[in-house]
């Protein structure tokens, strides 16, 4: 905490911010901010769980193209997807054990394929985290505006409001976030599982299927091609996005964090698999097809329990939970960014913790990127969904292929079996990635294709710059001894006053040679008088320091001083110090009333090497009484 | 010009700005930026001249309330307004002679009634200048969007675009602005006078009156009350706003500036009077009444010459000239602000000239205030017009009453006669001001009633603060001799490196006592190792300087350093200097890659008195080769 009289400045703004974020935390209090498996579900798995709101629908939409007869394929395709889910859960539980520091796909790829593959995975993840935030918030707000159409004109402001809320909650610390999200997550999980169970228990459902014609093409059953099945499978795989988040966020768990993270991953797999299978069985049994204005999930829920309180409560929970799914990324990206930053691939800013011990710069970066994305697409989910599976699936592919090599190297018991399983998983997700890219390229996938290489380029450039810095700093080698030399202090002044006296006194404390400089503008008619007057005044005062009067025809006071210092540096070998006197007003608002020559001069000299710029601040009321 | 390697930073942005503004000017080149009487018309009188677009209409709208029969009163009322115009022109020609330094109402009131009355006039003028910019731009854009209705949805952006253009032109220097505005102004003046002449020359007009019913109330002629005539007179007086601008901008004219300014004022009076009288005669002859979708001026022009090329050219010129009328204020407010600033009523910033020798801070302030006003009213002229006459008429009243006292004091030939004339003018404008206030209070005049006292309060507070500063600085009294003392230099470091060596070297150049400080965060598991390691590394290097390792449990690196310095200041009597090493990357974009401890620490210590904060910048590539 900054204490003392200087702390007055901007105090009220700081107080509001402190109230929003809570007091600073000690590193030891960090445990408070770490999470249990159940909290982990709400903190890191909402992205994966809420995929049930659009995954099954994506399959049915693709199959419906081939006619109502093709809809029965929803069950086998879902079974395949759940098999892939099982494989991914199995893989990521291994990833958690192998790389408990988090970072998921990035850490695995880096360790197994070398830094370059790691960067590809990292870039994909950065893009994906950003897209997840945007998609989840947009989908949540979309659900809200469907329920309350009068809000639909304010879609973007509502999206940004929710984003701001999530950002502040995360800046406070993830643990509190997880707790805040616990209730809606539980309502969503328990409620939806209960509704599915009711549907399965009453084979015909408690209620008859929805009235109204399903949106099916009128042509009859066609031959269902392999390509269509593959497309439906790939589309349905969007239900798997987010499965990786837990492995990336292991350091957020309470100790024993590896066990807790593994347990959370398994819990997620079981719940998500059960939901997907249950929904597929019900969709097939009730011949659910795509329908305008009502989602597949909503149709199934309404058929199972009717449009009563249970339906509305779970629907509302889905709305809340969808918009909170963004939190998954806020759990993941800052940790990933801190790892990249420690490996010199991102600015070191990202590995600094904020007052609440969170990686606040990563949180801010994610908020800004996803906010820009939401504004760019106008809060429209449909524009975003095709993009965001690509990043995740690239990550899946790298993580699984990395594990194959890991097993080959480590050779634990049954390693061939494990390698085969992960190899099959890698091929499957690679195929899904390619199909996604090909079928969705013009629908926006090109953005990902551009963004990922851009991030990789950025990482590589940053890394090579840090390499250079390390060499130049000579880290690891003992440098020569420091060599002092003489110094000249230049003090810009306006006239003879108590402020000048104070600054000259400070300058004389630092060096024997002190030069006062003053700029006189030629535009005033009495300019020559002013020069003579100033020199006379100086001579009368006789402070024992030379005065240089710089005359200029231009309006800038700063340029002549900078030129004078340039000349001084050329001629002298001494260390040149510019000491700028600055009055500190007793209230911040009076700051505007003082000529800002100090600020302008400091910024003009800011990037000039070899000139030390010193600011000598003194309180107005101290000027008369100060000893020096 | 900032030269040398430091100048690279932000060069491209600066180059664009330099291109927009042109190269810096010497004070001697200032003559180039000064103007002739004809240029003065376009630079300082557009506000007054363009008032013909709404002044006559304002009279007719008020009279029409009493029925068509009352419309014949437009001529006598206009004659009265022109008589007032003559009086004002006469007064302001005297003001120009008496106060050639500009400032108009402010200077006159201040000299004659003392500083307080001067402040009232100044506050009114500031409000009025801002309103003039907003009204003129809004009216110009209104004319444009009437011609091209498809632009009407972008009213505010177009307003702000024009404002930005005018701001840049003025930052380049007023002379060029005057030249840029010359052509449309001439087309407007010559064209409108020619159209009026054609209308007067052909007593029935070249064309028959416009088709369509005038918007008159259906009731028959009523008794026209005195109050109605007064209201119509006051409303018509809005045609006189801007007459004062020339007297306020005398310093902008070429020498002999008083003669040139007087000639411009007379020219303005003759042209404006001729236009107003001509329009009133034609309006009465053709029984012009208010009409929806077409202004009174447009009706008269169309009746005189038909909807042919002359009508369209002059209409377009009116659009351009209306939006450029804003320039009048850009000629006036910055000069007024510089005068107020020299008298210590506004921050001294406003008396600094920019590179182009214009008062750039005044230009910026006016642009920001009027831009905010345009956004607040959504670019709607109707909301603004009632407000802006009030400020001007307050100014008129003060200027004329001031002249009455001036004549009494100076007693030139015929002084009683002159005093009587100005006295009558003062009473007339005072009455008009009161009528404006009463009739327009709820339509927005309250804003002026709030704004003027607010500005006065601001001026008084600023003045009393500067008074205090002058006392504390001890200006005019020779201060004691400066007293040097010993200094301690604190150097925050991260580890042993070439940067540390360089910074310690510079610190040893400034003082014998140097302390290196380093902060170690406790959140890393290897923290105690890091402390021991750092101490060992330091001992091995042995630079002859003490190292303080500060351990902290919080995330902030800055706070422990600030606390250490606090403690140092408490215990020691020496001058404490904090020397912050800073790497200058060879490209600005790499700036983000360096930890910003220097920026954070500088800003944390910025308002702390008695601690000198020095920044020691060094180029990355110089680190190894530098002698010290």
Tell me: pLDDT of A557 over 70.
yes
**Picking from A171-185, A355-369, B56-70, B484-498, which range would have the lowest pLDDT averaged per residue?**
A171-185
Distance between the two ends of chain B, CA-based, in angstroms?
29
Tell me: pLDDT of A57 over 60.
yes
Do A361 and A215 form a contact (C-beta atoms < 8 A)? no
Chain A contact present for B533, CB below 8 A: no
- Sign of the CA dihedral running B191, B40, B325, B398: negative
Query: Would you say residue B477 lies in a domain?
Result: no
Same domain assignment for residues A502 and A448: no
**Nearest CB to B522 within list A27, A354, A622:** A27
Same domain assignment for residues B89 and B139: yes
The DSSP call for residue B594 is S
Quote ipTM for the complex.
0.71
Residue in B519, B555, B590, B605 to test binding to A, most A beta-carbons within 10 Å: B555
Q: What residues have CB less than 8 Å from B41, skipping those under 6 apart?
A: B49, B185, B189, B264, B267, B268, B271
Compute the mean pLDDT over every residue in chain A, rounded to the nearest whole number. 80
Residue A85, pLDDT score = 92
Contact at CB, A608 and B353, closer than 8 angstroms: no
Q: What is the per-residue pLDDT across B309-327, written as a single tens digit (0 to 9) for each?
A: 877 788 888 878 887 788 7
Alpha-carbon distance values, B615 to A418, B4, B10, B490 (Å): 58, 19, 20, 12
Peptide bond into A256 cis (omega under 30): yes
Q: Grade residue B215 by pLDDT with cuts at 50, 70 and 90.
A: very low
Query: Would you say residue A15 lies in a domain?
Result: no
The torsion region of residue A12 among left (phi > 0), alpha (psi -120 to 50) and beta comes to alpha
Q: What is the per-residue pLDDT across B421-480, written as a single tens digit (0 to 9) for each?
A: 888 888 988 888 888 788 777 777 788 888 889 999 999 999 999 888 888 887 767 778
High-pLDDT (> 70) share of chain A, %: 85
Average pLDDT over residues A545-554: 86
Query: Would you say residue B443 lies in a domain?
Result: yes
Tokens read off for A203: 């084979």
Query: Would you say residue B192 lies in a domain?
Result: yes
User: Which of residues A237 and B291 earns the better pLDDT score?
Assistant: A237
Tell me: pLDDT of B221 over 50.
no
What is the spatial distance between Cα B247 and Cα B109, in angstroms, rounded to a whole number? 13
Burial label, B231 (beta-carbon count in 10 A; 0-12, 13-18, 19+)? buried
Query: Would you say residue A6 lies in a domain?
Result: no
Average pLDDT over residues A513-531: 77
Q: Grade residue B359 by pLDDT with cuts at 50, 70 and 90.
A: confident
What is the spatial distance between Cα A33 and Cα A21, in angstroms, rounded to a whole number? 13
CA B561 to chain centre: 43
Do B246 and B92 form a contact (C-beta atoms < 8 A)? yes
Q: Which residue of A has its CA nearest to B523?
A: A27
Pairs across A and B, CB distance < 8 A: 317
DSSP letters of A332-352?
A: HHHHHHHHHHHTTSS-GGGG-
Q: What is the per-residue pLDDT across B95-133, written as a single tens digit (0 to 9) for each?
A: 888 777 765 667 777 777 777 878 888 888 888 889 888
What is the spatial distance between Cα B405 and Cα A10, in angstroms, rounded to a whole number? 48
Chain B residues near residue A497 by CB distance under 8 angstroms: 473-475, 479
Residue B9, pLDDT score = 45
Compute the mean pLDDT over every residue in chain B, rounded to the nearest whole number. 80
Query: Would you say residue A475 lies in a domain?
Result: no
Same domain assignment for residues B438 and B551: no
Same domain assignment for residues B457 and B492: no
Residue B608, pLDDT score = 78
What is the spatial distance between Cα A471 and Cα A255, in angstroms, rounded to a whole number? 38
Tell me: pLDDT of A7 over 50.
no
Angle between helices A415-440 and A74-98 (to 10 degrees): 120
Tell me: pLDDT of A425 over 70.
yes
Q: Grade residue B260 by pLDDT with cuts at 50, 70 and 90.
A: confident
Q: What is the per-residue pLDDT across B11-68, written as a single tens digit (0 to 9) for each?
A: 666 677 777 777 777 666 554 456 777 777 777 788 888 888 778 888 888 888 777 7
**Nearest CB to A621 within list B9, B472, B585:** B472
User: Which of residues A238 and A166 earns the better pLDDT score?
Assistant: A166
Containing A616, the helix (H) or strand (E) segment is strand A611-619
| Residue finishing a domain among A435, A469, A503 | A469
Chain B residues near residue A573 by CB distance under 8 angstroms: none
Do A126 and A336 form a contact (C-beta atoms < 8 A)? yes
Same domain assignment for residues B231 and B162: yes
High-pLDDT (> 90) share of chain B, %: 12
Burial label, B566 (beta-carbon count in 10 A; 0-12, 13-18, 19+)? middle
Q: How many residues are given for chain B?
A: 628
Residue A274, pLDDT score = 94
CA A336 to chain centre: 9
Q: Grade residue A216 by pLDDT with cuts at 50, 70 and 90.
A: very low
Tokens read off for B514: 């140097």
Q: What residues have CB less than 8 Å from B625, skipping those under 6 apart?
A: none
High-pLDDT (> 70) share of chain B, %: 85
Q: Which residues of A327-363 are buried (b: 16+ CB within 10 A; e: fewer)?
A: bbbbbbbbbbbbbbbebbbbbbbbbbbbbbbbbbbbb
Q: What is the per-residue pLDDT across A482-511, written as a single tens digit (0 to 9) for each?
A: 878 888 999 998 888 888 888 898 899 888
Chain A contact present for B593, CB below 8 A: yes
Tell me: pLDDT of B149 over 70.
no
Tell me: pLDDT of A626 over 70.
no
Residue B33, pLDDT score = 54
Chain B residues near residue A587 by CB distance under 8 angstroms: none
Tell me: pLDDT of B328 over 70.
yes
Contact at CB, B584 and A609, closer than 8 angstroms: yes
Chain A residues near residue B472 by CB distance under 8 angstroms: 498, 620-621, 623-624
Same domain assignment for residues B385 and B242: yes
Tell me: pLDDT of B223 over 70.
no
Alpha-carbon distance values, B428 to A297, A302, B394, B416, B439 (Å): 77, 78, 11, 18, 16
Q: Grade residue A5 by pLDDT with cuts at 50, 70 and 90.
A: very low
Same domain assignment for residues A458 and A511: no
- Work out the minimum CA distance from B474 to partner chain A, whole angstroms: 6
State the alpha helices, DSSP H only, in B381-414.
381-410
Q: Which residues pair with A549 in a beta bridge?
A: A518
Tell me: pLDDT of B6 over 50.
no
Q: What is the per-residue pLDDT across B557-570, written as a single tens digit (0 to 9) for each?
A: 888 888 898 888 88
Do B129 and B450 form a contact (C-beta atoms < 8 A)? no
Tokens read off for A64: 């419906």
Query: Would you say residue B628 lies in a domain?
Result: no
Contact at CB, B553 and A28, closer than 8 angstroms: yes
**Nearest CB to B511 within list A501, A510, A604:** A510
The pTM assigned to this predicted structure is 0.69
Residue B403: which CATH number?
1.20.1740.10
User: Which of residues B622 and A4 earns the better pLDDT score?
Assistant: B622
Same domain assignment for residues B209 and B343: yes
Q: Which residues of A81-93 are buried (b: 16+ CB within 10 A; e: fewer)?
A: bbebbebbbbbbb
What is the spatial distance between Cα A502 and Cα A322, in angstroms, rounded to a whole number? 62
Average pLDDT over residues B186-201: 89
Average pLDDT over residues A597-610: 78
User: Which of residues A2 and A598 earns the better pLDDT score?
Assistant: A598
Tell me: pLDDT of B377 over 90.
no
Q: Which residues pair with A488 in a beta bridge?
A: A513, A576
Residue A92: closest CA among A390, A400, A408: A400
Same domain assignment for residues B563 and B455: no
Contact at CB, A479 and B487, closer than 8 angstroms: no
Chain B contact present for A14, CB below 8 A: no
Q: What is the per-residue pLDDT across A268-290, written as a single tens digit (0 to 9) for each?
A: 999 999 999 999 999 888 888 87
What is the spatial distance between Cα B116 and Cα B402, in angstroms, rounded to a whole number? 13
* Local structure of A242: helix, strand or coil: coil
Query: Would you say residue B17 lies in a domain?
Result: no
Tell me which residue range forms the domain holding A84: 30-469
Average pLDDT over residues B542-558: 85
Q: Grade residue B4 by pLDDT with cuts at 50, 70 and 90.
A: very low
User: Which of residues A474 and B544 earns the better pLDDT score?
Assistant: B544
- Sign of the CA dihedral running A471, A476, A478, A482: positive
Same domain assignment for residues B355 and B392: yes
Chain B residues near residue A593 by CB distance under 8 angstroms: 347-348, 462, 465-466, 469
Same domain assignment for residues B258 and B127: yes
Tell me: pLDDT of B256 over 90.
no
Contact at CB, A501 and B522, closer than 8 angstroms: no
Chain A contact present for B573, CB below 8 A: no
Rounded to 10 degrees, the C-alpha dihedral A203/A206/A209/A211 comes to 170
Same domain assignment for residues B511 and B583: yes
Residue A566: which CATH number?
3.40.50.620
What is the spatial distance between Cα A236 and Cα A239, in angstroms, rounded to a whole number? 6
What is the number of domains present in chain B?
A: 2
Peptide bond into A76 cis (omega under 30): no
């Amino acid at each position: 905490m900054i204490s003392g009289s200087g702390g007055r400045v901007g105090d009220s703004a700081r107080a509001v911010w402190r109230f929003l974020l809570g007091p600073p935390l000690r590193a030891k209090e960090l445990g408070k901010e770490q999470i249990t498996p159940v909290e982990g579900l709400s903190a890191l798995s909402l992205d994966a769980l809420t995929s049930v709101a659009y995954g099954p629908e994506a399959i049915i939409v693709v199959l419906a193209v081939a006619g109502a007869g093709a809809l029965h394929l929803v069950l086998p395709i879902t079974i395949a997807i759940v098999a892939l889910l099982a494989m991914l859960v199995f893989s990521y539980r291994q990833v958690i054990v192998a790389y408990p520091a988090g970072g998921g796909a990035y850490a695995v790829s880096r360790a197994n394929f070398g830094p370059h593959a790691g960067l590809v995975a990292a870039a994909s993840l950065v893009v994906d985290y950003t897209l997840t935030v945007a998609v989840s918030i947009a989908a949540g707000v979309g659900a809200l505006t469907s329920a309350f159409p009068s809000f639909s004109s304010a879609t973007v402001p509502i999206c940004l409001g929710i984003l701001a809320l999530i950002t502040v909650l995360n800046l406070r610390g993830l643990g509190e976030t997880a707790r805040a999200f616990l209730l809606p997550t539980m309502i969503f999980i328990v409620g939806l599982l209960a509704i599915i169970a009711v549907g399965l228990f009453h084979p015909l459902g408690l209620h008859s299927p929805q009235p109204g014609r399903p949106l099916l093409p009128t042509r009859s059953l066609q031959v269902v091609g392999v390509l269509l099945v593959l497309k439906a499978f790939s589309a349905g795989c969007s239900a798997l996005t987010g499965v990786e988040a837990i492995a990336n966020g292991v350091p957020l768990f309470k100790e024993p964090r590896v066990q807790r993270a593994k347990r959370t991953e398994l819990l997620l797999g079981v719940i998500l698999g059960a939901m997907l299978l249950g929904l597929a069985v019900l969709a097939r049994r009730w011949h659910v097809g795509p329908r305008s204005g009502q989602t597949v999930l909503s149709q199934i829920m309404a058929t199972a329990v009717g449009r009563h309180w249970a339906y509305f409560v779970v629907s509302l929970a889905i709305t809340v939970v969808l918009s909170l799914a963004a939190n998954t990324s806020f759990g993941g990206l800052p940790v990933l960014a801190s790892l990249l930053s420690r490996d010199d691939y991102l600015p070191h800013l990202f590995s600094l913790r904020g007052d609440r011990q969170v990686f606040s710069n990563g949180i801010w970066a994610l908020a800004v990127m996803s906010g820009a994305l939401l504004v760019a697409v106008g809060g429209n989910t449909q524009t975003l969904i095709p993009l965001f599976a690509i990043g995740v699936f690239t990550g899946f592919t790298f993580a699984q292929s990395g594990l194959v090599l890991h097993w080959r190297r480590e050779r634990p018991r049954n390693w061939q079996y494990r390698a085969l399983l992960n190899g099959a998983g890698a091929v499957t997700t690679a195929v899904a990635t390619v199909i996604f890219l090909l079928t969705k390229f013009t629908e926006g996938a090109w953005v990902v294709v551009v963004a990922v290489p851009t991030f990789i380029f950025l990482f590589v450039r940053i890394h090579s710059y840090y390499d250079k810095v390390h060499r130049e700093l000579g880290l690891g080698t003992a440098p020569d001894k420091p060599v002092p030399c003489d110094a000249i202090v230049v003090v810009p002044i306006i006239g003879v006053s108590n402020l000048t006296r104070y600054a000259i006194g400070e300058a004389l404390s630092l060096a024997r040679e002190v030069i006062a400089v003053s700029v006189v503008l030629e535009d005033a008619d009495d300019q020559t008088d002013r020069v003579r007057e100033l020199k006379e005044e100086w001579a009368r005062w006789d402070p024992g320091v030379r005065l240089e009067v710089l005359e200029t025809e231009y309006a800038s006071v700063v340029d002549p001083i900078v030129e004078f210092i340039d000349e001084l540096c050329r001629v002298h070998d001494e260390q040149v110090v510019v000491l700028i006197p600055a009055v500190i007003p007793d209230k911040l608002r009076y700051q505007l009333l003082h000529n800002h020559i100090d600020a302008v001069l400091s910024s003009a000299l800011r990037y000039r090497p070899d000139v030390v710029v010193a600011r000598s601040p003194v309180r107005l009321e101290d000027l008369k009484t100060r000893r020096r």
